[in-house]
Structure 1
Amino acid sequence: MQFQEKNPNTQWPNECMRIRCMGHELSLAECKIHYQEPVAEDTAVAVAKCYKETPGECKKFICANGKCLINGKPCNGVDDCGDNSDEMCCQKCRGQAFLCKSGVCIPRYTIKDGIRDCLGGEDEQDEKNGTKTKQTEKLFFDPMSEIRKIRTSTEDQLQCGVPNKEYVYKQEDDTTSHSRRKRLVGGEEALPTQIQWQVAIQDEGTIHCGGAYLGGCWVLTAAHCVRPKPKSFRIKFSLWKKHRKQSTTDSIPVKNIIIHHEYNAQNYANDIALVQLEELNLSDKCMQDNPAVRAVCVPWSTQQFQPNDTCTISGWGRDREGKSAAILKWANVTIISDCQNYYKDRFLPGMECAGDLEGKVDSCQGDSGGPLVCTDASGLSYVWGIVSWGDKCGEPNHPGVYTKVAHYFDWIRFNTGWPAVTKFNQ
């Protein structure tokens, strides 16, 4: 329905508010409302487009909500479907629309507007081609400013994914077959406080596994690294040399261990566990503030990172000769798609492959439970995977297999009880 003519008997105002809506809003308050503008003779005072189901077979794009897209075009940055399904799974975008790494097209005017519209936040980064973004016009009311305020307030309370770069390492810190093998080959030695979310899981005095610190009193690791006997475990933070603590090292007792209820030790399905730390006396904290310890973010979408993205693994695992590393090591690996080609039916939902198909870099025995960390365009780091298993460590065409953490986001949030476990999950 479109109003194009004005009734001469109606007293029209001299000025009118201009409102821009995308189609997914639930009320006018969610739209952009601009300053008043003069109403001329030919000004269209109101325009509303209503969808009427087209009879017969749809010969064009069918939206996820069943609408047949007749007038609009997919992948142009405009939500013609109403559920944005015409802007998803795009390999490229039409016109001036911006393509997110996750395959979603967004309008050009949303670039660098202060809100992350892409999962990885790349729409808020400087564009490589050096073109200047369009200046945001002055608004009478901009709901995005309210969103920014809410996010800023929430994010101030959620610290994750950014290491403490102000802490300077002090020299005195260094003075004090077909079988599944839990798989770092080809890595480099880390600096003493470089990987601030890496933890070591000590079982009966021995370290066999690693883990990732999520913040608060929670650590994430592989299910095969733990058992439901909390008193047998301790979690070591800011550990560099495996058998020698440094001045920033903390050793925290464990209060509870939550193993995924569908974990299968035979095929490593759902190989994920949460470790809850013991609180300090008369406190809800589990450790004193430590400048060398920071939490890593939990990813909430399985689309946040894509195949061919480069991420980092870390741990004290064995090298190609089978020798266990005494010093924490790290290496860059690439997310690999189509892992079924390498492991057939042993590659299950909730698993992710990463490594180097030439066999130059891999995680090996002793790295189990350790983090596979990916960093998005805005610089936030997420624990994308947990070292789980793999065959023929460091050999070509045998990438490491990781538990895909985003697949278990709801399970993590349910068990930790947090309303939000990432900076941008509001």
Structure 2
Amino acid sequence: MKRGAAFGAVALAAFSLTPGTAFAQATSDASEGPRTRIVGGTPAEQGEFPFMVRLSMGCGGALYAQDIVLTAAHCVDGSGPNTDIGVTGGVVDLDDPAAQKATSTEVLQAPGYDGTGKDWALIKLDKPIDQPTLKIADTDAYDNGEFDIAGWGADREGGSQQQKLLKAKVPFIDDATCKAAGGSYSGLVDAEEICAGVEAGGVDSCQGDSGGPMFRKDDAGEFVQVGIVSWGEGCARAGKPGVYTQVSHFAQDIKSAADQLGS
């Protein structure tokens, strides 16, 4: 049910046509698999979301620091030294020759991650990507309203991952309404996950968008990350919202982990 490309099964380049989704865990079933691209989105402008990065295994992420990426735990394979993940940033078109490239040196997956909740991880890079970073929400004050999502994932359920970044807006959905969607949603981890989506469907993150940020403007008019694309049933189905890691709940853990990677 996770929305990233299957780790270990498909090692994707920065741009790949291999299908995936972001509402769900890595699986061959496109209706319940890692999510690839934004459904119902529009093209993002160059420089509009400069903190966005693409990971070579087919997930997204955001620059927590210029040399640290915040992504989903299900996109990586545990913690420790890792030089296998390629990172592309600074562009909306993954084929743009101006793209900045870096490689992982270490991964820190959320302690205790077992596939339910705690879906966050940090990736340390061998060199900085010279782009603005995305601050994380450290209170739940911004865990409401309308959110922005962006990614290179599939633009339809079962579709192909994209070369160019897409963006969309999705409204907050409260936990009770999200759980009422039934199925996997009944197991929503209230304190650790946040839901967003259009009730009628048609707009959503999808396979390959896993690990990418859900964000909004704060009171100062600056973007703040409130979620991480995690899972969902299918892509953009009516009554089946996207589920995101609730960043504010893990803010202190993420900051401590980043300090550990930076030391």
Q: Structure 1 counterpart of 2:188, which letter?
A: F
Q: Which amino acid aligns with 2:48?
A: Q
Gaps of 5+ in 1: 1-176, 280-285, 419-426
State whether structure 2 residue 90 is matched by structure 1 residue 230: no
Question: Aligned match of 2:133 in 291, 295, 308?
Answer: 295
Percent identical among aligned pairs is 31
Spell out, residue by residue over 1:29-74, the C-alpha distance to the aligned partner (whole angstroms, 9 max, x if none): xxxxxxxxxxxxxxxxxxxxxxxxxxxxxxxxxxxxxxxxxxxxxx
Show the 5 A alignment for 1:277-296. Answer: 277-279=125-127, 286-287=128-129, 290=130, 293-296=131-134
- From 253, 265, 270, give the equivalent of 2:118: 270
Are the structure 2 counterparts of residues 306 and 404 from structure 1 closer, same or farther at C-alpha, using a change threshold of 3 Å? closer
Is structure 2 residue 63 aligned with structure 1 residue 209? no
1:298, distance to aligned residue in structure 2 (A)? 1.1
Residue 91 (structure 2) pairs with residue 221 (structure 1) = no
Partners of 1:182 and 1:387 within 8 A in 2: no
Normalization by structure 2: what TM-score? 0.78
Q: 2:231 aligns with which of 389, 412, 415?
A: 389
- Assess if the C-alpha contact under 8 Å between 1:319 and 1:364 holds in 2: yes
Distance between the aligned counterparts of 1:364 and 1:199, measured in 2?
16
**Superposition deviation, residue 375 in structure 1:** 0.7
Q: Indicate which of 97, 103, 108 corresponds to 1:246.
A: 97
Structure 2: distance between partners of 1:381 and 1:319: 24
Q: 2:150 aligns with which of 314, 318, 331?
A: 314
The one-letter amino acid paired with 2:215 is V
What's the TM-score, normalizing by structure 1?
Answer: 0.49
Highest RCO, 1 vs 2 (Cα 8 Å, sep ≥ 6):
2
Alignment of 1:334-349 (within 5 A): 334-337=171-174, 338=176, 339-343=178-182, 344-348=185-189, 349=191
Higher strand share: 2
Unaligned residue ranges in structure 2 (runs of 5+):
1-28
- Please give the alpha-carbon distance, in whole angstroms, between the structure 1 residues aligned to 2:113 and 2:86: 22
Is the 8 Å Cα contact of residues 50 and 91 (structure 2) preserved in structure 1? no
Q: 1:80-106 CA distances to partner (integer Å, 9 max, x unpaired)?
A: xxxxxxxxxxxxxxxxxxxxxxxxxxx
Cα distance between partner residues in 2 of 1:220 and 1:235: 12
Residues 89-100 of structure 1 aligned to structure 2 (within 5 Å): none
Q: State which of 142, 156, 160 in structure 2 corresponds to 1:305.
A: 142
For 1:385 and 1:196, how far apart are their aligned partners in 2? 17
Q: Distance between the aligned counterparts of 1:371 and 1:306, measured in 2?
A: 13
Shift of 1:179: 6.4
Amino acid of the structure 2 residue aligned with 1:214 = Y
Residue 305 (structure 1) shift: 1.6
- Does the 8 A contact of 1:178 with 1:391 survive in 2? no
Task: String of CA shifts for 1:247-294, please: whole Å, max 9, x gaps.
Answer: 2x21112121000112113xx321110111124xxxxxx34xx3xx21
User: Structure 1 CA distance, aligned partners of 2:249 and 2:180?
Assistant: 21
- Which stretches of structure 1, 4 residues or more, deviate above 6 A after TM superposition? none
The separation in 1 between residues aligned to 2:97 and 2:217, in whole angstroms, is 27
**1:374, distance to aligned residue in structure 2 (A):** 1.2
Q: 1:333 aligns with which of 150, 156, 170?
A: 170
In structure 1, the partner of 2:17 is none
Per-residue CA deviation, residues 120-165 of structure 1 (Å, 9 max, x unaligned), is xxxxxxxxxxxxxxxxxxxxxxxxxxxxxxxxxxxxxxxxxxxxxx
Larger Rg: 1
Contact 1:372 1:383 in 2 (8 A): yes
Report if the CA contact (8 A) 1:254-1:277 is conserved: yes
Amino acid at match of 1:311: F
CA contact (8 A) 1:239 1:246 kept: no
Shift of 1:238: 1.3
- On the 8 A contact 1:240/1:246 being kept in 2, the answer is no
Residues 209-260 of structure 1, C-alpha deviations (whole Å, 9 max, x = no match): 1001012421100011112461111211113223x1332x211121210001
Q: CA deviation at 1:406?
A: 0.7
Partner in structure 1 of residue 111 of structure 2: 261
Distance 1:180 1:401 in 2: 13
When residues 178 and 342 of structure 1 are mapped into structure 2, their CA distance, relative to the original with a 3 A threshold, is: farther
Instruction: Letter of the 2:237 partner, please give it.
Output: E
